[in-house]
Amino acid sequence: MAAFAALRSFFAAVAVLLVAVGGCAPVVTFPPESAAPAVVLDTYLMALAAGDCQAGRRLALTTFAKGKGELCGETRLISYRVDLVPATFSDREVVFAAHLTTTGTADRSVPPGEMLWFYDLLRQPNGAWRLAGGGSGP
């Protein structure tokens, strides 16, 4: 868990540096295929916060779409915090709870402010973890 926190701090520092130096939106750095599911989710959430839906889709399965957990393009992510201990964990599936603060969606299915959002990640045959679904409850 300490390694994840250190990695997340490093990625956040790099993102801040890129914005300060380049004056543009943060660039999403993709984790290796062997990355832990928490790292994959954190990278997706950084892409969501940057508004980079294309980068976020690279970390997801086709099942992860609007209405099935995907929020990119539907709302602006202001901040997030992921519970480091997954709600469900097996060698093939993990579910994390994330505390998101967003601007809400136009259809009001997601209200503005803080909410609890669950992300389901599945291990692929090549060992990579990918987002498969998500939402506000089971």
Task: Give the tens place of pLDDT for each residue, 32-80.
Answer: 999 999 999 999 999 999 999 999 999 999 999 988 989 999 899 999 9
pLDDT of residue 1: 52
Structure tokens at 77: 């992510």
pLDDT of residue 29: 87
Is the pTM for the entire model greater than 0.75? yes
Q: Strand 129-135 to strand 113-123: parallel, antiparallel, or no bridges (unpaired)?
A: antiparallel
Residue 15 clears pLDDT 70, i.e. is over it: no
Domain spans, the chain: 7-135
Cα–Cα separations (whole angstroms), residue 33 to 3, 37, 58: 17, 10, 11
**CA atoms lying within 13 Å on the CB side of residue 97:** 11
Which string of b and e fits 23-40 if b means at least 16 CB within 10 Å?
eeebebeebeeebebbbb
CATH number given to 7-135: 3.10.450.50
Instruction: List, for residues 20-42, the tens digit of each pLDDT value.
Output: 444 455 577 889 999 999 999 99
Average pLDDT, the chain: 84
Residue 94 phi, psi dihedral angles, 5° rounding: -145, 140
CA nearest 129: which of 82, 83, 96, 81? 96
pLDDT of residue 8: 52
